[in-house]
Each structure stands twice: as C-alpha cells, then as structure tokens.
Amino acid sequence: MQDDLQLLENADRVSIFLICVQSRHGELSGSIANFYIEEPVEFFGILDLVLKLDVLCTRLGRPMGTDPRFLSKQMRKTFEARELNESLIPIKYNPFIQNRDRFIPLAINARETMVIEIFQRQFSSLQGRIKGKCSQEKSTSFRSALELMRMLREYENVR
C-alpha cells in the first residue's frame, strides 16, 4: 500500500489511479481514487471498473482518447448527459486535492490495492500497466481494455 501511494505521489498523476478493492471473494468491487478527483468513485465489477476509468480519463482530459462511437446521435447525447455532465476542461493543479494523506484511510480500509496507469486511449481502448497483488507487485502492461479485463478476471478466479 505504501509503495502504491508513493507511485501516485511521484508521477504525472493525472492518468494514474489507485484501485481499492473492498470485496474479499468473487467479483471485484471497491473505489477508484486519483489526485485530481475530489471523491473516490465506486465500481462494481470489472466491466464497471474499466468503463469508469475511461470516463475519468475523459473528464480529466488525459490521456486524450479518440471520440467514442455510438449507434445513434441520441445514444451519444444520453451518454454525454449521464457520464460527462461536467465540461471536458482538464482539472487544473490543486494542492488541496493532491494531498496524499487523504488516500491513506481509503487504502488502509481496502482488502487490497492496485495501481492502474493509463498511457494511451486509442480506438476506444486503453493501453497501460497494472501493479498490485494481482501481478505479484510487478508492473504488467496491457494493450487493450479487453486484455486488462481478462487479466483481472483470471485474478478474480484465483484470489
């Protein structure tokens, strides 16, 4: 946990997310934290985690992604109203938000923590790396959101 917090503190923090897993067995659930969001975001399951990471990257403005595609204009408007209800202006530096100490209680109360860093978002997918108990504390790269979901599903089955 302490290493995860140091990684968050010593990096370009916008695209690094601390994942605090609350569930003991079965489907992953918990909170997503980042130095640039004021409150942790809850997730329930791997699909929800990956979709919320993508929405948070869009809200934060980094890494920039290609425009998402939708089946109709109405679906696009509904998505934007529901998920992107704030302007897409990147959040500026805020020393109060970036206080490391506010993550400590969240991480201590979690059953486990992992760090997901998103390097790129292209073609409606994610590329990055994950580090935590699921990867034996080593950074493991993923080339797509599907690959990340597959890794997390396998971890879900063995933990």
Residue-level pLDDT at 60:
79
33-42: pLDDT as tens digits = 888 887 889 9
Residue-level pLDDT at 78:
80
- Average pLDDT value for residue range 102-122: 87
Max avg pLDDT among 77-91, 92-106, 121-135: 121-135
State the DSSP string of 66-130. PPP--SSHHHHHHHHHHH--S--PPPPP-TTTT-GGGTHHHHHHSSEEEEEEEEE--TT--EEEE
Residue written as token pair 């595609």: 69
Residue-level pLDDT at 121:
84
At 139, is the pLDDT very low, low, confident or very high (cuts 50, 70, 90)?
very high
Is residue 116 pLDDT above 90, yes or no?
yes
143 or 158, which is more confident: 143
| Domain spans, the chain | 2-158
